[in-house]
């Protein structure tokens, strides 16, 4: 991956904040609060500051902003282009921190509006109302926070590079998994899950994007096997699924491969063929300006012709979260389109309690001229 200088990173983070400030100014929002804590995680804090976890980010329309982290030392190391004010300074209370920080911004105006996260519990909302005398406290849908969700759906250069690196590491791990299967030193669900945990860290990644799902033939009928993995044989005769992601600098990959270990019966072969065909039919519709629902409808048509139904959406955005906007669903509105810069999964799947499950998932970057598949998951036949 390209190495970014501090100045280059500062430009990237500054551009994000400027886009947010333009929205706030246009909609008359004086200040906005973003919160990342154990009870309410919001990756927007990392998106605007670079700080990975446990902090408040407060920004005002006059351009002033502050990061209030739980870990001041980590914030000094990781944050970019933001003032750091330690949480302990405010008795570790969000309402007091927001009150004091906004006061320090010296904002002028008659009607001051501050938007707090729409996930704020009602009792906490009331505490904000009491603390922020003279402010109109907004906690609502269709807010600045929703604008940021939409903003994060199209990735900038740095985000694309980070995701590419996560995908590169994920692809390398898939190659090791295939080698382990063929050389017979990967034999159980726990073997493959622990291999992923170990290898991603050797490659400089932070963690898995979610709990790894490794399901042998007796459990692959579940969309998301529970528990994620056991000590059962993997792969074994039949259809086995592995769904995993790795995180690099906050950005996750998301891939699913199916191991088809023979002999298989005709109905199992049909499941494999249908899933591969659905992926092939939908991929050309992952392009800028195309309605998102059209890709989902193309995959569903493949399955409906075979009298099969896929029990989940065809895909979803990825980024700082494993599930981001947009969902690739036939229920999307006609005017929700793919945009250049989106990174979206393509993951058709079919599941049968007797036959087992098949899912094939790759990550697709939407470009100005079409798309680029940036992972290389596949059906592995043994």
**Quick one: pLDDT band at residue 39, thresholds 50, 70, 90?**
very high
**Quick one: pLDDT band at residue 89, thresholds 50, 70, 90?**
very high
The mean pLDDT of the chain is: 97
**Quick one: pLDDT band at residue 76, thresholds 50, 70, 90?**
very high
Lowest mean pLDDT among 35-39, 109-113, 153-157, 309-313: 109-113
Average pLDDT over every residue of 111-124:
96
Average pLDDT over every residue of 161-189:
98
The yes-or-no verdict on residue 129 having pLDDT over 90 is yes
The yes-or-no verdict on residue 188 having pLDDT over 90 is yes
pLDDT score at 2: 86
The yes-or-no verdict on residue 160 having pLDDT over 90 is yes
What is the value of pTM for the model shown?
Answer: 0.95
pLDDT score at 111: 87
The yes-or-no verdict on residue 1 having pLDDT over 90 is no
**Quick one: pLDDT band at residue 307, thresholds 50, 70, 90?**
very high
pLDDT score at 75: 97
Average pLDDT over every residue of 175-181:
98
Model confidence pLDDT, tens digit, residues 212-253? 999 999 999 999 999 999 999 999 999 999 999 999 999 999
**Quick one: pLDDT band at residue 108, thresholds 50, 70, 90?**
confident
Average pLDDT over every residue of 134-146:
96
Q: Is 26 exposed, middle or buried (0-12, 13-18, 19+ CB in 10 A)?
A: exposed
* CB neighbour burial string for 187-203, b if at least 16 within 10 angstroms, e if fewer: ebbebbbebbeebbeee
Model confidence pLDDT, tens digit, residues 251-295? 999 999 999 999 999 999 999 999 999 999 999 999 999 999 999
């Amino acid at each position: 991956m390209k190495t970014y200088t501090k100045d280059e990173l500062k430009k990237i983070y500054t551009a994000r904040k400027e886009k947010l400030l333009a929205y706030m100014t246009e909609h008359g929002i004086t200040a906005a609060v973003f919160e990342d804590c154990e009870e309410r995680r919001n990756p927007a804090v990392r998106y605007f500051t670079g700080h990975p976890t446990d902090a408040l980010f407060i920004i005002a329309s006059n351009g002033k902003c502050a990061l209030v982290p739980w870990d001041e030392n980590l914030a000094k190391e990781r944050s970019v282009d933001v003032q750091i004010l330690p949480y302990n300074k405010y008795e570790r209370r969000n309402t007091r921190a927001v009150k004091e920080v906004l006061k320090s911004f010296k904002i002028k105006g008659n009607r001051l509006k501050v938007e707090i996260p729409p996930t704020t519990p009602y009792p906490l909302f009331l505490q904000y109302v009491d603390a922020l005398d003279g402010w109109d406290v907004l906690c609502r849908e269709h807010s600045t926070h929703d604008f940021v969700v939409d903003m994060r759906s199209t990735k900038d250069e740095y985000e694309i590079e980070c995701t590419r690196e996560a995908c590169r590491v994920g692809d390398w791990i898939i190659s090791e998994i295939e080698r382990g299967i063929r050389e017979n030193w990967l034999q159980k669900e726990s073997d493959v899950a622990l291999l992923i945990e170990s290898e991603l860290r050797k490659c400089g990644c932070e963690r898995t994007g979610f709990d790894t799902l490794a399901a042998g033939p007796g459990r692959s009928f579940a969309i998301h096997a529970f528990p994620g993995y056991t000590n059962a044989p993997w792969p074994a005769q039949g259809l086995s699924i592995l769904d995993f992601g790795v995180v690099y600098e906050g950005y996750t990959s998301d891939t699913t491969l199916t191991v088809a270990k023979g002999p298989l019966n005709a109905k199992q072969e049909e499941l494999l063929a249908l899933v591969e065909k659905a992926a092939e039919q939908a991929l050309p519709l992952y392009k800028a300006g195309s309605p998102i629902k059209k890709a989902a409808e193309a995959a569903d048509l493949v399955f409906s012709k075979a009298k099969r139904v896929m029990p989940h959406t065809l895909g979803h955005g990825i980024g700082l979260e494993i599930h981001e906007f947009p969902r690739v669903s036939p229920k999307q509105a006609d005017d929700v389109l793919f945009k250049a810069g989106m990174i979206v999964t393509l993951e058709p799947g079919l599941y049968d309690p007797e036959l087992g499950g098949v899912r094939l998932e790759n990550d697709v970057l939407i470009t100005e001229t079409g798309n680029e598949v940036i992972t290389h998951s596949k059906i592995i036949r043994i």
